[in-house]
Structure 1
């Protein structure tokens, strides 16, 4: 592993992409971390705000051709990353904490977002050449701004809610990085079928009534039944029972809306 730590950067993803353009032979598992990220990005260009020095902002380089050769899809890379980070978080959170994966690859604790993942792929012809995997984990920060589509939380906030002692100092930083990498390598060695099964087991909202929104702004109630190999979400609409498949950007969950499908 090659580790690059920066005091300040616009975005660890953007930095690693620039380095990769300059050094095409950059070794796999190169990891970029930053104390302060001034222009962090999430999915769909959403902002990722993090107080300097209080959260983990990291990006790692993968060459996941092995995953593709074993019958995997691009979405299986999302699954692999989400499961690895989930395993690392379970080691850091209070005992009994329930960590779920919100489709496609956010991580929630008690319905609150603790981690976001942004994967940017590079192709050579039609072959997946490299994946820049950005991971942002809320660690010490306990105060967040308004207007988040999913209420945020952090490792410290969860420890405080559980009546425990939140982490302090900076020893958590290196430990969390290595826990994520260790879990990533372990999950990467397992069959794609096992990754998919575990992802479904940990999938947030599966079998529960949720409120969804289409890009038009139209909202509807539905129940997640699963995720296809290509990453499309299967939702059974309520109360009609109609089943529909949605690709990313075609639907979003509204977790701040009170649920009453009978209305």
Structure 2
């Protein structure tokens, strides 16, 4: 049954200092990221959140569609206007870490991890995906947009992703109040954003501890090609690049656009 997001409950629960106070709700949008990209610069505020109950053309990494049942999940975009114009992938992973930490509390017996470059997994099934986009005016960053799709109360998935996707409700065995979940999640994202802004090393350490394959020998697909050697994954550096150690002892670093990991 379709359940409309209750904005009044969300506003009552919200305890952030700035994130999510500017809030736009839509019953239906093609894509929250696309909507936010089309807002004029004068209307954009740092920390605004746009949420749609039904996102009919949701996009994931590599232009894949994001499947989500109307009124069951959280599909939303965060808008930031940071002073810096680098380390954006670290911020994406910091948002993923906030999701991991919160689900860890809800499901203490589950294995919740970040899958490079921008997914959250519960026991090897996808529960959330993130998509980061930027808009510049010349050399000046106008807005940084992080779109998040989080499976909350969806109980069934199409045959295409069945067995590969899950939701919090499936894992918990009961439905979850989306309004409370979003407000709590935004508090954690705001906290991690502040750590990111201050370039805190402990944020990187927390992210690395939660990435699948960290500290293990893995295979790499670089620019679509599977490399012959194996590499030890050392985690991300302060620039958000993935750092690996080759069998020959050489350190290599890759941007997230270049590389995919083979950990199985």
TM-score normalised by structure 1 residue count: 0.79
For the aligned residues, what is the CA RMSD? 2.7
Distance 1:60 1:249 in 2: 21
| 1:28 is the counterpart of 2:9 | no
Are positions 1:52 and 2:70 aligned together? Answer: yes
**C-alpha displacement of 1:110:** 1.9
Q: Is 2:22 the partner of 1:2?
A: yes
> Relative to structure 1, is the Cα distance of residues 143 and 128 closer, same or farther in structure 2, using a 3 angstrom cutoff?
same
Alignment of 1:67-78 (within 5 A): 68=84, 73-78=87-92
TM-fit CA distance, 1:78:
1.7
Per-residue CA deviation, residues 130-157 of structure 1 (Å, 9 max, x unaligned), is 1111111011223333555x92221122
Unpaired stretches in structure 2, ≥5 consecutive residues? 1-20
TM-score (norm 2): 0.79
Which residue is 1:173 aligned to? 178
| Residue 84 (1) aligns with residue 93 (2) | no
SS of corresponding position for 2:114: strand
* Distance in 1 (alpha carbons) for counterparts of 2:187 and 2:148: 15
Matches of 1:50 and 1:25, distance apart in 2: 28
Counterpart check, 1:42 vs 2:42: no
Residues 1-263 of structure 1 aligned to structure 2 (within 5 Å): 1-19=21-39, 21=40, 23-65=41-83, 68=84, 73-91=87-105, 93-147=106-160, 151-159=164-172, 165-167=173-175, 172-190=177-195, 191-192=198-199, 193-218=201-226, 220=228, 221-237=230-246, 243-254=251-262, 259=264
- Who is 2:15 aligned against? none
What SS is found at the alignment partner of 1:226?
strand
How far apart are residue 232 of structure 1 and its match?
2.0
Distance in 2 (CA, whole Å) between partners of 1:189 and 1:231 is: 16
Please state how far the C-alpha of 1:47 moved relative to its aligned partner.
1.4
Q: Deviations over 1:55-96 (max 9, x none)?
A: 11011211122xx39xx62233223322223233334x3223
Report the secondary structure of 1:189's partner residue: helix
Aligned length: 240
Deviation at 1:187, TM superposition (A): 2.0
Instruction: Tell me how far apart the structure 2 counterparts of residues 83 and 40 of structure 1 sit (CA, whole Å).
Output: 22
Alignment check: 8 A CA contact 1:79 1:196 kept? no
The CA deviation at 1:241 is 6.1
Q: Which of the pair has the greater relative contact order for Cα pairs under 8 Å at 6+ separation?
A: 2
Please list every run of 5 or more consecutive structure 1 residues that lacks an aligned counterpart in the other structure.
160-164
